[in-house]
Amino acid sequence: MRDDAQTRRRAELDRFLRDTERRALRMAQLGTGHLDDALELVQEAMYGFVRHYADKPAADWAPLFYRVLDSRLLDFHRRQTVRRRWLAIGFGHATQAEDDAGDPLDQVAAPEATSDPLQQLTDHAAMQSLQAALQQLPDRQRQAFLLRHWEGFDGATTAGIMGCSEGSVKTHLSRALTALRRALEEHR
Amino acid sequence: MTQPDRSLDTDRSRQLLDDSLNDFDAATLSRLNQARQRALSQLDTRRRWAWWQPLTGVALAAALVIALLPRQPQTLPATSVSVGEFDLALLSESEDLELLENLEFYAWLEQEEDWDGSS
């Protein structure tokens, strides 16, 4: 009887993770800029999620999973910041050169000018533009945009996932939308 | 009313992000699958441990009880007559044993005497 319940729960978790993993990977990839790093973070998030929250009600799984992933992304960015600082001490001019390497958006093929941002672009070019614009956003702004507009979480849930106030989410989101509009306008 | 030109079409961006989920190659999807299975394998380990946990608990409790029991003296309580002594007494009472073995004869003898007396 108990075994049945555990088997059922395992199957539900498997289904949930299967439905979520690609979205999580895309989110992590936009956050890290590298597929391998993103895969590692998603793997850690899955592991941590199952370890700590498998017994929680299924309705709570999505926010809890993204909370774990968001936390892993924050850790990743902290580590990157520390690494960059050390590199700046050791190879000051090299990182300067890296900073001056140019805007990644410049490498995205500019679509023909049309009246609506994104709307008239081909899907491939539009996705490239959107992806590049999202990667350029500060981490908190990008997460606020993805969680609110892509995942469809409400303000309170997004705030819970990001570990900040609802007001902060609104601020991050507003800045993200402004930055995205500007970036996508430039690349029409 | 039409949307202003400078607005960001969030529906479109959502659609683009959704579509991009089909761009992952087979190797990436396989690694995702492995990561998922690895995460879920924790549940199996937990289940196995849940099965052994009560048994381990009982075994530990039993070991604790045995360890904490006051030590009893190894000598057996003395009995009034030991089995060996009883057997020896039986063997030494040879007369009684003879009587038991010839009980039928003595019964017949008694009958004969009664008959002689009465006749």
Per the model's pLDDT, the better-predicted residue between B42 and B66 turns out to be B42
Q: Confirm or reject contact between B24 and chain A (CB < 8 A).
A: yes
Please, what sign has the CA dihedral across residues A129, B25, B28, A69?
positive
- Chain A nearest CA to B57, separation (Å): 20
Q: Confirm or reject contact between B21 and chain A (CB < 8 A).
A: yes
For residues B40-51, give the mean pLDDT: 77
In one-letter notation, the amino acid at residue A112 is E
User: pLDDT tens for residues A46-91?
Assistant: 999 999 999 999 999 999 999 999 999 999 999 988 888 887 776 6
Per the model's pLDDT, the better-predicted residue between B15 and A99 turns out to be B15
Cβ distance B39 to A49 less than 8 Å, yes or no, reads yes
Q: Which residue of B has its CA nearest to A21?
A: B32
pLDDT of residue B59: 80
d(CA A97, CA B84): 105
Cβ distance A9 to B43 less than 8 Å, yes or no, reads yes
Distance of CA B12 to the CA centre of its chain: 64
Structure tokens at A168: 């902060």
Nearest Cα to Cα of residue B15 among A83, A121, A20, A1: A121
User: pLDDT tens for residues A113-156?
Assistant: 444 556 555 778 888 889 999 999 999 999 999 999 999 999 99
Nearest Cα to Cα of residue A176 among A117, A134, A127: A134
Helices (H), strands (E): how many in chain B? Answer: 5, 0
User: Chain A partners of B32 at a C-beta cutoff of 8 Å?
Assistant: 21-22, 25, 39, 42
A92-95: long-range contacts, CB 8 A cutoff, minimum separation 24: none
User: Chain A partners of B5 at a C-beta cutoff of 8 Å?
Assistant: 115-117
Q: How confident is the model at residue B5 (pLDDT cuts 50, 70, 90)?
A: very low
User: Chain A partners of B42 at a C-beta cutoff of 8 Å?
Assistant: 47, 50-51, 54
- 3-class state of residue A162 by DSSP: helix
In order of A45, A174, B47, B64, the CA distances from A169 in angstroms are 22, 8, 39, 56
pLDDT of residue B101: 73
For residues B30-55, give the mean pLDDT: 83
DSSP 8-class letter at A164: S
In order of A135, B17, B51, B108, the CA distances from A34 in angstroms are 11, 17, 42, 118
Cβ distance A180 to B8 less than 8 Å, yes or no, reads yes
Structure tokens at A59: 């309705």
Cβ distance B24 to A25 less than 8 Å, yes or no, reads yes
Mean pLDDT computed over every residue of chain B: 74
Share of chain A above pLDDT 90, in %: 65
d(CA A144, CA A177): 10
- Chain B nearest CA to A87, separation (Å): 30
- Contact call for residues A72 and A45 (beta carbons, < 8 A): yes
B4 pLDDT higher than 70: no
Distance of CA A133 to the CA centre of its chain: 12
Nearest Cα to Cα of residue B25 among A101, A114, A29, A44: A29
Q: How confident is the model at residue B104 (pLDDT cuts 50, 70, 90)?
A: confident
- Contact call for residues A157 and B50 (beta carbons, < 8 A): no
d(CA A132, CA A111): 14
Q: How confident is the model at residue A102 (pLDDT cuts 50, 70, 90)?
A: very low
Nearest Cα to Cα of residue A14 among A52, A44, A58: A58
Please tell me the least confidently modeled range out of A95-104, A159-168, A170-179, B89-98. Answer: A95-104
B111 pLDDT higher than 70: yes
Q: Which residue of B has its CA nearest to A12?
A: B40
User: pLDDT tens for residues B47-90?
Assistant: 666 666 677 777 888 888 888 877 665 555 555 555 556 565 65
Residues of A with CB under 8 A from a CB of B: 3, 6, 9-10, 13-14, 17-18, 21-23, 25-26, 35, 39, 42-43, 46-47, 49-51, 54, 115-119, 123, 126-127, 130-131, 146, 149-150, 177, 180-181, 184-185
- Chain B nearest CA to A90, separation (Å): 35
Instruction: Please give the model's pTM, rounded to 2 decimal places.
Output: 0.66
